[in-house]
Structure 1
């Protein structure tokens, strides 16, 4: 019986990427995940959400925007095209992870998870357009993009560590505190989507765009309250890590998170007290991505899975060096 040919196996038989290449491909997925969030925000902030009034084509008669649609059509269509760039980047990461020896199934699974999240979010984006920018669907669209970013960060982190069973670097109560930080940040992001859905930037100049029937200033105050909670948990976690003499890496990650939170707080206050200028709102969306990435890196730094598999050779000559102590990785 003839052997079934697997295209990924054919590539693996002919190409052996370095561990560094796989890690950089995973990092590229993170970068593209941030770009998708920020450019999606730009579509809303330039009132281009219905620049292409239908989906999957731009108009009923044209796949691409027509001259009559102006800059709004170009902006919306460009954001749609970036999805294909994202697919290409994730595809490279999947192929590289599959071709890398020894094979690490967890990395390819994380790559495929990103692919299916992209596909599902593309459908959600189409529903967003077809429902006239329904704010609840818009919020779901953003949360799906955040889920994609989450998986990308996990893949990036996993590409730099081994496949041993996770070993906590701190006591269980400290890990539980990090879980509370993750949950609080998740709620912070959820409340942020409600601020967006009830705020003044509806995504289209039409007055018919439905908004969440809440006072956006009151919801913003709730959002700020959760910012204080996240900042408080971050400071508490730093003191706890110092008290238990945790490895240097988790403490450094917490300091990085605190710095990002402070920057995001400044942007948030400038946004609020200047009637939400579009450029500042866009910077705030970028900052929200950085905050979430920093929180995930704090959480992931509190456990160790050993060194990544070593394959000595010209492509990975740096890997043949003595292994670093647990918790000392540059990740």
Structure 2
């Protein structure tokens, strides 16, 4: 009796994607993760957080928005639909990583981790609606999106390198400085969610509960962490120059500094112009790009060797009837 193959194994026997295709699929997941962050911000900034009044349906009687719900219903429902696009992109990556030879289990595990984060965040999003945009749940929703972005960036990096044991490119104190930068940037992102949860953009035109902190004070703390992150970035760049680190880490730090400078300009513009929605949206995009740059800096300080060389897919096993069927007669001797 023939062995039963799962669908991913069947695809792997018939399709051999290139390493470049796997990397592009991983990059597409990163792009979609950023889009989810930005469109989620657009839902809040357009006061469409309760555009769909319930979950998983849009209304108690309709899966999709009705005409009476107006543009807010369309925006909220459109953001929900993007989740399916994101799942499709992640699914493509999982299939491509599974079909690639030699098989790299670490990549498929990272792909599945992205999928389950998306599923978990969909539930958090539903709870957000059902609790009337509770600011703490909204913050958790954004942080889960950041977790997805983190895993997507790590997957993208791993798709372009080998599976050897990590080899450090710099001394341990330099790596510790880089991880301190990651920790400070993570704290900066978390504080940003508190600023948003206490600020004027509640996500809906009706009165919505806000985080009970002084908005000016929490904003100042957020700015203080910006200075810490910028200071650590500058310190890391000079340290990498002093130890004559490879060019790739130094370039990654410069890219981070440029991104931080642009984000700082946007932050001050939104503060001094009264937090216009469009500028706040740019700031959310900037926060995602800064986090990507920070992760790239940390991962640039080690090397895992070259990508494994591709191997031909294993030949498909013969069917049972081909094995047990009649055999050709031996040729007669002349």
TM-score range, shorter chain: over 0.9
Deviation string 1:67-112 (CA, Å, 9 cap, x unpaired) is 0000000000000000000000000000000000000000000000
Structure 1 outlier segments of 4+, above 3 Å: none
1:264 aligns with 263
Equivalent pairs, count: 312
1:43 aligns with 43
Aligned partners of 1:257 and 1:280: how far apart in 2? Answer: 20
1:74 aligns with 74
Q: Does the CA-based 8 Å contact 2:101-2:311 persist in structure 1?
A: no
Residue 4 of structure 1: how far off its partner (Å)? 2.7
1:89 aligns with 89
2:237 aligns with 238
2:324 aligns with none
TM-score, length of structure 2 as denominator length: 0.93
Aligned partners of 1:28 and 1:306: how far apart in 2? Answer: 24
CA RMSD after TM alignment: 0.9
Query: Counterpart of 1:279 in 2: which secondary structure?
Result: helix
Aligned partners of 1:2 and 1:55: how far apart in 2? Answer: 44
Deviation string 1:173-211 (CA, Å, 9 cap, x unpaired) is 00000010000000000100000000000000001x110
| 2:135 counterpart of 1:156 | no
Deviation string 1:28-82 (CA, Å, 9 cap, x unpaired) is 0000000000000000000000000100000000000000000000000000000
Residue 5 of structure 1: how far off its partner (Å)? 1.6
Query: Counterpart of 1:204 in 2: which secondary structure?
Result: coil
2:99 aligns with 99
Residue 312 of structure 1: how far off its partner (Å)? 7.4
**Max Rg structure:** 2
Note the residue ranges of structure 2 that are not aligned, 5 or more in a row.
313-334
Deviation string 1:218-266 (CA, Å, 9 cap, x unpaired) is 1111000000000000000000000000000000000000000000000
2:3 aligns with 3
Residue 2 of structure 1: how far off its partner (Å)? 4.4
Aligned partners of 1:25 and 1:204: how far apart in 2? Answer: 35
Aligned partners of 1:218 and 1:70: how far apart in 2? Answer: 37
TM-score, length of structure 1 as denominator length: 0.93
1:30 aligns with 30
Q: How does 1:163-182 map to 2 (within 5 A)?
A: 163-182=163-182
Query: Counterpart of 1:59 in 2: which secondary structure?
Result: coil
2:303 aligns with 304
Note the residue ranges of structure 1 that are not aligned, 5 or more in a row.
314-331
Query: Counterpart of 2:106 in 1: which secondary structure?
Result: helix
Aligned partners of 1:215 and 1:200: how far apart in 2? Answer: 12
Aligned partners of 1:155 and 1:95: how far apart in 2? Answer: 14
2:285 aligns with 286
Q: Does the CA-based 8 Å contact 2:18-2:100 persist in structure 1?
A: yes
